[in-house]
Amino acid sequence: MHNLFLSEFIRLPRARKLFFIEATLFLLLARLALTCLPFWVLQWFMNRLPKQPELQDEERKQTLKEVRWAVGRAARFLPGKTVCFPRGIVAQAMLRQRHIGSTLLYGAKTETDCGLVSHVWVWDGMQEVTGCRAATGYKIIARYPKLVYIFPKDLSKEVIMDDNTNKSSKETPRVWVTPRFECQDLKDALNTVVTPGSNDGSVNYS
């Protein structure tokens, strides 16, 4: 399998090779960080906002496509299992350093056979980045960053969807604000989805 990919890798354009190498290194670091670092450090990292101005239009769509490909391909290439959490952290980080703000969502549900199961996925507005198709049935309990785009003339309306234009139909620029959200603390939030009869509270990632 690796030999087949290496032959494919040689034929890739230089830009894609760089995306793949970056995703591979970042995934290794993310897997290590999830094992060694306290969770508040990861929360700080995931809550960082992209530099302004953000990429827009076709350039943004193409960057999303390349990051999605690189993270998925690198995760399959690395030895061992690279679950959703490091994939989400890396995808969000790669987009952020390219001036694209995305949202990492942490969800959980209980299953009778394995207890508490968690999943992490990343969106850029309505654009899937990683893990989105497997997110059905999960209760969203945390969002990173804890900020969303809204239209400043309607502060009562939270806007999560992003049409990649940074403008509303009335040409109103968006701003980042703190959202009204179900749970702000992930540790407490996990208790809201643990049901009687589940396992000892350990979390299994999809």
What pTM was computed for the model? 0.72
Which pairing describes strands 175-177 and 148-150: parallel, antiparallel, or unpaired? antiparallel
Q: How far apart are CA 117 and CA 204, in angstroms?
A: 5
Whole-number pLDDT of residue 38: 94
Q: How far apart are CA 126 and CA 162, in angstroms?
A: 6
Whole-number pLDDT of residue 206: 62
DSSP 118: E
Name the token pair of 45: 């990292």
Print pLDDT tens along the chain (206 aa): 566 567 777 888 899 999 999 999 999 999 999 999 999 999 999 999 888 788 888 999 999 999 999 999 999 889 888 999 999 999 999 999 999 999 999 999 888 787 888 999 999 877 889 999 888 889 999 999 976 544 344 333 333 433 333 333 333 444 444 443 334 444 444 444 433 333 344 556 66
Whole-number pLDDT of residue 147: 64
Q: How far apart are CA 128 and CA 39, in angstroms?
A: 25
Q: How far apart are CA 63 and CA 124, in angstroms?
A: 11
Q: How far apart are CA 182 and CA 44, in angstroms?
A: 19
60 burial level (CB within 10 Å; 0-12, 13-18, 19+): buried
